[in-house]
Structure 1
Amino acid sequence: MTGLLGWSSRWLRLLRAPSPGRNALYRPVDRARHRLTLLLLGLLALAVAASVATAAVVLRSAHAEAQAAAAHLRPVAAVVLSAPEAPPGPAVSPGPVPGHGRAQVSWTALSGRPVTALVFVAIGTQPGATIGLWVNDADVPTHAPRTDAELRIGAFTVGVGVMIGLSLFLAALHMVAAHHLQHHAEALWEAEWERVEPWWSGRTPGPPG
């Protein structure tokens, strides 16, 4: 996080700085750095747009899938037939849930026939109590449909993940490009120093031509 904040602050300082074209002290490598910063800022803006678009697409797709799944689900009122415990055999309802045990419950199918299943029920539920269940077309207990809040959280998480991934990629790209420019600047400085050093140290009578 500190690295990203420092990266952003350097960009803001460069944007507030005078344009390289109007500053005679700017070297060609400084102009290249400025252009690189502007390019990366543009790419970062595109990354934000891509993240928002991805989240929107994921949310729209999740809504469509949830609606299609909800068309095959229905709530039922099931009567608890036994106290919650841990009988042999797996429960068919989603679970396990802390504070819940498996119990036999019964409800009426759309065809009118009674259906019995082993599901997870809150500990302390007495036989004869009525609980709510979600079942599919085959009258098998299943998870409740996902809520809008869950769908939005999922889409937001995907969007944030895309943004983080693209930001890390751009940060790495910036580091590589900045290293290349720095290496180039050092090479230019060394070449210029080799030209000026004899005059600066007094080994030659006049400044370099």
Structure 2
Amino acid sequence: MGRTRGAGPRRVWLWRWRSNPLRRRSDLVEAWLLLATLLLTLFAGAVTGLATAGAVDRFLAERRAQSRTAPAVLVEDAADASPSPVTEDGSGDGRVWVKVRWTAPDGTGRAGRAEAGPGDKAGSVVTVWTDDAGRLVSEPPSGADARFQTVMAGLTVTAATGVMVVLGGGLVRSRIQQRRSKEWEAEWRLVEPAWRKRMTG
């Protein structure tokens, strides 16, 4: 069967890699640039993503190793304390911030604020998290929460690295295309007079 009437020009794949009289040096450079950008995006994204995930995992492990629970005694009724901040979805768990006292690892007494149930009374005991010096810290992520933070950090850095590489490759490619356009214009200025003479001759 013959070629269907009205069909568009046949697409020639990898034409920049093939030797032909229309291929310019800039075409081959652009082809290598596209390949390098693809490989660098995959390689750099994977390396930085894994490195970031490992760093976050080690950081969280250090936080867990340096944090410990301690019993703290309420020094005021929870009903007289300030409520905890509302969560992102607009709800709250009903817990409140109360004044508490606890004993640091060196035996000294400490005071601060910790969350407690809204019905807890002065003298009740709650569990708080402290560091090696006995200062209050937030509960370190563990289990699924720690894995989620590690994975998200790795994916975020992977994506950011890939975007940076692609943008850099796109910038270099635009410079190549601008230079090629100038070369075409310069050559056309040389060829145009002879071409016009042939067309009008």
TM class by smaller structure: 0.5 to 0.7
8 Å CA contact retained: 1:59, 1:152: no
SS in 2 for 1:123: coil
Counterparts of 1:30-45 in structure 2, within 5 Å, are 30-45=27-42
Aligned Cα root-mean-square deviation (Å): 3.9
User: 1:65-80 counterparts in 2 under 5 A?
Assistant: 65-70=62-67, 73-76=68-71
**Structure 1 stretches of 5 or more lacking a match?**
1-13, 88-94
CA contact (8 A) 1:199 1:205 kept: no
Matched, 1:48 2:45: yes
1:11 is matched with none
Query: How many equivalent residue pairs?
Result: 182
Partner of 1:180: 175
- TM-score w.r.t. length of structure 1: 0.64
Deviation at 1:45, TM superposition (A): 1.5
Name the residue aligned to 1:18.
14
Checking the alignment, whether the CA contact within 8 Å between 2:42 and 2:162 is kept in structure 1 is no
Contact 1:97 1:120 (C-alpha < 8 Å) held by counterparts: no
Scaled by the length of structure 2, the TM-score of the pair is 0.66
Q: Which has the higher contact order (CA 8 A, sep 6+)?
A: 2
Distance 2:113 2:32 in 1: 67
Match of 1:202, SS state, is helix
Kindly state the Cα deviation for residue 38 of structure 1 after the two structures are TM-superposed.
0.6
Per the alignment, in what secondary structure is the counterpart of residue 200 of structure 1? helix
CA distance in 2 between partners of 1:173 and 1:68 (Å): 41
